[in-house]
């Protein structure tokens, strides 16, 4: 490293190891982007599958939160 090298250039030079460090950063960045895309595609596929399954299943009535008189939830201890 020469004395006229700016601090920014010295950072990018990384003590002479830049040919190994920057490609490693590039590989990691590509892998992270690939994982992000893969996750988003899987999410979309899962949502579409859920919509298809919900369309096939009949709608059920929600259970009433209060039980009718004399039901199992109305039992006295």
Q: Give a yes or no: residue 1 inside a domain.
A: no
Q: Give a yes or no: residue 30 inside a domain.
A: yes
Q: Give a yes or no: residue 14 inside a domain.
A: no
Q: Give a yes or no: residue 48 inside a domain.
A: yes
Model pLDDT, residue 63: 74
Q: Give a yes or no: residue 34 inside a domain.
A: yes
List of residues 6+ apart from 73 with CB closer than 8 A: 66, 67
Q: Give a yes or no: residue 71 inside a domain.
A: no
10-36: average pLDDT: 93
- Counting residues of the chain whose pLDDT is more than 70, the rounded percentage is 77
Q: Between 64 and 31, name the one with better pLDDT.
A: 31
Q: Give a yes or no: residue 13 inside a domain.
A: no
Using a cut of 0.85, tell me whether the model's pTM lies above it. Answer: no
Judged against a pLDDT cut of 80, whether residue 43 lies above it is answered with: yes
Structural domain count of the chain: 1
d(CA 30, CA 47): 26
Instruction: Find the domain containing 41 and state its range.
Output: 25-52
Q: Give a yes or no: residue 5 inside a domain.
A: no
Model pLDDT, residue 65: 67
């Amino acid at each position: 490293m020469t004395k006229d090298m700016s601090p920014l250039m010295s950072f990018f030079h990384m003590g002479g190891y830049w040919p190994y460090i920057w490609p490693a950063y590039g590989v990691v960045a590509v892998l992270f982007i690939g994982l992000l895309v893969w996750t988003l595609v899987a999410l979309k596929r899962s949502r579409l599958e859920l919509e298809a399954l919900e369309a096939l299943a009949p709608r059920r009535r929600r259970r009433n939160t209060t039980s009718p008189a004399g039901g199992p939830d109305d039992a006295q201890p």
